[in-house]
């Protein structure tokens, strides 16, 4: 050993690639005076550091100090060991990657950082009001990359040659823009312009013209990070006009607010929600409306989705008179959102009155992420409605090896997942796989993920439903196919999401999924684990008059519930269908029960989007004034040994209370309470039978916060460990994770 000089070998795992980690190490080395090197490896970043004991100590401490790490970096583990010093070493080097270059992860797109914001609004800065300002800590990534290795030539920034000033920053390890591939300025980067309704460029200040259009009440198409948005003022006139032009159903519109003050004028935001809004990923966060029953033209329920400006372009647009805008994705109904200028002008004709366009191409469509903050029993955590921009393609880390598995998801809210080591590369939001355009987008993204992450799938997993386009795609791959029952996949998804092994009870409630008996399932109580799952209990099926038609015509389900319970009041036509069982598939789906009960309580006949009845029933229950009691139900065991929850007694009680003039809000709350109570009763029975005391909650019905909160806490009160999703969505979007888990544990064809 020479005079107190130490040398260590260190290795860091976690999210440490593509997030500016090596430049961070270089700066840390400069500050502490250590010499050595750093490089990306297949597992993270590793290297060596040398200096006196104190310098090495500070360097090591800095490696894991969350206050110092680049904003997106997450260190999972850091190990180090002493090795022999290297005499005469000077400087700290960033080495080329160790392997094939593919291990450098592609970062998600990141919202504009505070440093860039300051420069954007600083008249003295050379990028003052430049709409494409970015740096190592922020900017476009996933949406502009065409291939690996990730460098400028591989992105849609390739056509913009860096000017001398930008190139100097890019090459300077001390600079915030060191190796920032999309680095640019007004002298060398993309250009923004405003176009009128005809798509032709208008001379003059683009932002000012766009703002003027909005203030006149017009609809503006804005080219964003992963697609176009349609924007307008949030008042009733402008947003109703947008809704009419878009032929949009009553699905809520999201808002973009200038800052937290603007958010708070409309909604209530707690500390965790504020943190999610302000963080680098900039999702849409669902917040409670400040005033109950307000802004009905924006949202049909008590929540409203809000996001903050996440690109410099948005920040400039919001820096005007309006501090809040409707910002909804510009997708022609049911088709993927448009991403190119020509496509936008062609397909938004008659919808947009003007366009904010630029010449940086969007390589991959990526819609906004949507989440809420929910209590997962250990604290308030992210609960995804949609995991997309800002999160994809960052892998979900799981506890087992899943290399070479491609999980294809379901049909609605389609997504896919590709496994490599213990990382699951989860797709962005794709949409409902119900048309050729969405299927093409899905297939393109599978191919893109395979090439970006260097994954050659050896096996595919799909849903049991043979007609899903994802299931058909599975057959076309020519690879061995595992088919996993829909609700089994939901359950395993929640287990993998929470790192659970062994066996659990799963309460899996959703709208529709094909069951093992070829009927529609969706109100399921399952037991098992990765090795296999069985159906222990379920809702007693009801008939869906007209099949899928009942999804929109919820009065048919209301009629079916009446008919089933032996009550009068069903429409004669529906009753005749039910009597003769004409096109009346049985379903144990929980989502449909919500729709039917909503129809019974309110008399509403149709809904405009799938699951709206359930959304509105929850919103209705939120208005209940007092602690509503519960209603009778009955449990019995059917001929196949499955415990069944019979809701007919509840329907009879609900209808009689309704006819007696009871307040519908109170009845809606009683319905929720009844389901919670019955689910707890069933879980207690299953625990008695199996000894299992952990419950996972999954399925789209658990977007319902009254159920999620109520059932979680009631189960905890009974001594159960309760687990909800927190890294993938509880909806069908999260299914691919469960499919992948089934394939990795030698699961058999369901």
CB of 390 to Fe ion, least distance (A): 24
Alpha carbon 374 to its chain centroid, in Å, reads 14
- The size of the chain, in residues, is 750
CB of 72 to Zn ion, least distance (A): 11
CB of 641 to Fe ion, least distance (A): 24
Q: Nearer to Zn ion by C-beta: 358 or 592?
A: 358
Q: Nearer to Zn ion by C-beta: 116 or 298?
A: 116
Q: Nearer to Zn ion by C-beta: 45 or 110?
A: 110
CB of 142 to Zn ion, least distance (A): 16
Q: Nearer to Zn ion by C-beta: 165 or 250?
A: 165
Q: Nearer to Fe ion by C-beta: 109 or 463?
A: 463
Which of 369, 475, 353, 363 has its CA nearest to residue 415?
369
CB of 544 to Fe ion, least distance (A): 16
CB of 706 to Fe ion, least distance (A): 19
> How many residues line the site for Fe ion (CB under 5 A)?
3
**From the list Fe ion, Zn ion, none, partner contacted by residue 591 (C-beta under 5 to 8 A by kind):** none
CB of 189 to Zn ion, least distance (A): 6
Per-residue DSSP letters for 96-131? PPSSSSTTSPPPPPBPPPHHHHHHHT-TTSTTTT-T
CB of 166 to Zn ion, least distance (A): 3
How far apart CA 328 and CA 352 sit, in angstroms, is 12
CB 685 within 8 A of CB 651: no
How far apart CA 309 and CA 28 sit, in angstroms, is 31
Ramachandran sector of residue 431 (left: φ over 0; alpha: ψ -120 to 50; beta: rest): left
Both tokens assigned to 158 = 């390739």
CB of 187 to Zn ion, least distance (A): 5
All residues at 6 or more sequence positions from 254 whose CB lies less than 8 Å from its CB, including other chains: 284, 304, 305, 306, 307, 326, 327, 328, 368, 370
Query: Residues interacting with Zn ion, by CB under 5 A?
Result: 113, 116, 135, 137-138, 163, 166, 185, 187-188
Q: Nearer to Fe ion by C-beta: 105 or 697?
A: 697
Regarding 510 and contact with Fe ion (CB under 5 A), the answer is yes
Report the alpha-carbon angle 58-45-162, nearest 5.
100
CB 255 within 8 A of CB 326: yes
Regarding 610 and contact with Fe ion (CB under 5 A), the answer is no
Greatest C-alpha distance within the chain: 96
Q: Nearer to Zn ion by C-beta: 135 or 460?
A: 135
How far apart CA 720 and CA 713 sit, in angstroms, is 9
Count of CB atoms situated within 10 Å of the CB of 294 = 14
List the interface residues with Fe ion, window 683-742 (CB under 5 A): 732
Q: Nearer to Zn ion by C-beta: 184 or 197?
A: 184
Per-residue DSSP letters for 160-183? SPPPHHHHHHHH-TTSTTTT-TT-
CB of 138 to Zn ion, least distance (A): 4
Pair type for strands 5-15 and 44-52: antiparallel
Q: Which listed range, 428-436, 502-510, 575-583, 672-680, lies at the site for Fe ion (CB under 5 A)?
A: 502-510
**From the list Zn ion, Fe ion, none, partner contacted by residue 163 (C-beta under 5 to 8 A by kind):** Zn ion
Both tokens assigned to 613 = 């009845």
Q: Nearer to Zn ion by C-beta: 73 or 113?
A: 113
How far apart CA 400 and CA 403 sit, in angstroms, is 9
**From the list Fe ion, Zn ion, none, partner contacted by residue 166 (C-beta under 5 to 8 A by kind):** Zn ion
CB 516 within 8 A of CB 545: no
Count of CB atoms situated within 10 Å of the CB of 117 = 16
Q: Nearer to Zn ion by C-beta: 113 or 195?
A: 113
Pair type for strands 459-463 and 423-426: unpaired
**From the list Zn ion, Fe ion, none, partner contacted by residue 209 (C-beta under 5 to 8 A by kind):** none
Q: Nearer to Zn ion by C-beta: 169 or 376?
A: 169
Per-residue DSSP letters for 455-519? ---SEEEEES-TTSHHHHHHHHT-S-EEEE-HHHHHHHHHHHHTT--S-EEEEEEEEEEE-TTSS
**From the list Fe ion, Zn ion, none, partner contacted by residue 510 (C-beta under 5 to 8 A by kind):** Fe ion
How far apart CA 154 and CA 168 sit, in angstroms, is 20
Which of 622, 620, 649, 652 has its CA nearest to residue 636?
649
CB of 31 to Zn ion, least distance (A): 21
CB of 75 to Zn ion, least distance (A): 21
CB 8 within 8 A of CB 82: yes
**From the list Fe ion, Zn ion, none, partner contacted by residue 732 (C-beta under 5 to 8 A by kind):** Fe ion
CB of 184 to Zn ion, least distance (A): 5
CB of 562 to Zn ion, least distance (A): 59
Site string for Fe ion, 241-270 (x = CB under 5 A): ------------------------------
Q: Nearer to Zn ion by C-beta: 137 or 388?
A: 137
H or E, element range at 385:
strand 380-386
Residue showing tokens 């060596």: 48
CB of 739 to Fe ion, least distance (A): 12
All residues at 6 or more sequence positions from 296 whose CB lies less than 8 Å from its CB, including other chains: none
Count of CB atoms situated within 10 Å of the CB of 14 = 19
Q: CA end-to-end span of the chain, whole Å? A: 63
**From the list Zn ion, Fe ion, none, partner contacted by residue 58 (C-beta under 5 to 8 A by kind):** none
CB 155 within 8 A of CB 182: yes
**From the list Zn ion, Fe ion, none, partner contacted by residue 116 (C-beta under 5 to 8 A by kind):** Zn ion
CB of 551 to Fe ion, least distance (A): 13
Q: Nearer to Fe ion by C-beta: 459 or 486?
A: 486
Q: Nearer to Fe ion by C-beta: 24 or 383?
A: 383
Q: Nearer to Fe ion by C-beta: 710 or 734?
A: 734
Exposure string of 18-54, with b = 16+ CB inside 10 Å and e = fewer, is bbbbbbbbbbbbeebebbbbbbbbebbbbbbbbbeee
Site string for Fe ion, 186-225 (x = CB under 5 A): ----------------------------------------
Q: Nearer to Fe ion by C-beta: 183 or 510?
A: 510
Please give the residue whose beta carbon sits closest to Fe ion in the complex.
510
Site string for Fe ion, 611-650 (x = CB under 5 A): ----------------------------------------
Residue showing tokens 């923004």: 192
**From the list Fe ion, Zn ion, none, partner contacted by residue 135 (C-beta under 5 to 8 A by kind):** Zn ion
Which positions lie near Fe ion, rule CB under 5 A? 510, 513, 732
């Amino acid at each position: 050993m020479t005079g107190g000089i130490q040398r260590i070998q260190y290795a860091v795992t976690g999210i440490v690639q593509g997030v500016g980690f090596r430049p961070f190490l270089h700066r840390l080395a400069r500050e502490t005076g250590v010499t050595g090197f750093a490089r990306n490896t297949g597992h993270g970043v590793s290297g060596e550091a040398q200096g006196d004991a104190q310098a090495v100590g500070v360097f090591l401490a800095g490696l894991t100090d969350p206050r110092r790490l680049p904003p997106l970096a997450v260190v999972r583990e850091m190990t180090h060991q002493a090795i022999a010093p290297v005499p005469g070493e000077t400087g700290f080097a960033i080495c080329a990657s160790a392997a094939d270059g593919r291990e450098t992860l592609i970062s998600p797109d990141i919202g504009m950082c505070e440093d860039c914001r300051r420069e954007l609004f600083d008249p003295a800065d050379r990028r003052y009001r430049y709409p494409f300002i970015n740096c190592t800590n922020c900017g476009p990534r996933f949406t502009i990359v065409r291939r690996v290795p990730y460098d400028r030539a591989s992105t849609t920034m390739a056509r913009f040659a860096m000017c001398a000033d930008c190139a100097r920053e890019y090459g300077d390890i001390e600079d915030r823009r060191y190796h920032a591939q999309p680095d640019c300025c007004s002298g060398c980067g993309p250009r923004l312009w405003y176009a009128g309704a005809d798509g032709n460029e208008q001379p003059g200040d683009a932002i000012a013209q766009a703002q003027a259009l909005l203030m006149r009440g017009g609809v503006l198409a804005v080219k964003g990070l992963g697609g176009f948005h349609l924007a307008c003022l949030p008042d009733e006139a402008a947003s109703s006009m947008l809704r009419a032009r878009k032929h949009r159903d009553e699905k809520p519109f999201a808002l973009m607010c200038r800052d937290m003050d603007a958010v708070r004028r409309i909604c209530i935001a707690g500390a965790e929600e504020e943190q999610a809004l302000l963080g680098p990923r900039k999702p849409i966060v669902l917040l409670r409306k400040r005033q109950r029953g307000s802004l009905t033209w924006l949202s049909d329920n008590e929540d409203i989705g809000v996001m903050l400006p996440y690109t410099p372009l948005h920040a400039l647009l919001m820096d005007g008179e309006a501090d809040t805008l409707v910002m909804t994705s510009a997708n022609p109904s049911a088709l993927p959102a448009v991403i190119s200028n020509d496509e936008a002008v062609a397909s938004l004709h008659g919808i947009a009155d003007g366009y904010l366009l630029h010449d940086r191409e969007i390589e991959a469509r990526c819609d906004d992420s949507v989440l809420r903050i929910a209590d997962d029993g250990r604290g308030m955590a992210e609960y995804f409605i949609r995991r997309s921009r800002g999160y994809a393609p960052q892998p979900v880390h799981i506890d087992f090896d899943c290399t070479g598995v491609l999980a294809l998801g379901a049909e609605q809210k389609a997504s896919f997942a590709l496994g490599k080591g213990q990382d699951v590369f989860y797709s962005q939001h794709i949409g409902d796989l119900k048309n050729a355009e969405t299927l093409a987008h899905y297939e393109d993204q599978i191919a893109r993920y395979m090439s970006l992450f260097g994954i050659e799938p050896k096996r595919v997993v799909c849903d049991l439903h043979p007609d899903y386009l994802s299931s058909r795609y599975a057959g076309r791959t020519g690879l061995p196919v595992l088919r996993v029952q829909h609700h089994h996949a939901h359950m395993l998804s929640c287990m993998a999401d929470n790192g659970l092994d062994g066996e659990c009870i799963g309460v899996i409630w959703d709208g529709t999924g094909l069951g093992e008996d070829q009927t529609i399932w969706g109100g399921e109580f399952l037991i098992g684990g990765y090795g296999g799952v069985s159906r222990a209990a379920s809702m007693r099926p009801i008939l869906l008059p007209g099949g899928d038609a009942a999804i929109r015509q919820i009065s048919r389900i209301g009629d079916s519930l009446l008919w089933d319970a032996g009550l009068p009041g069903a429409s004669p036509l529906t009753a005749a269908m039910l009597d003769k069982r004409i096109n009346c598939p049985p379903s144990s789906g929980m989502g449909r029960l919500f729709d039917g009960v909503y129809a019974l309580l309110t008399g509403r006949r149709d809904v405009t989007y799938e699951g709206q009845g359930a959304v509105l029933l929850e919103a209705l229950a939120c208005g209940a004034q007092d602690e509503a009691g519960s209603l009778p139900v009955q449990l019995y065991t059917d001929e196949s040994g499955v415990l069944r929850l019979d809701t007919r007694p509840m329907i009879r009680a609900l209808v009689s209370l309704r006819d007696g003039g009871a307040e519908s809000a109170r009845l809606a709350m009683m319905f929720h309470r009844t389901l919670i109570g019955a689910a707890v009763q069933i879980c207690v029975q299953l625990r008695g039978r199996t000894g299992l005391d952990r419950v996972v909650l999954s399925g789209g019905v658990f977007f319902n916060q009254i159920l999620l909160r109520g059932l979680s806490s009631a189960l905890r009160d009974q001594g159960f460990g309760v687990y909800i999703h927190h890294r993938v969505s509880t909806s069908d979007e999260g299914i691919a994770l469960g499919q992948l888990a089934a394939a990795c544990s030698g699961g058999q064809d369901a």
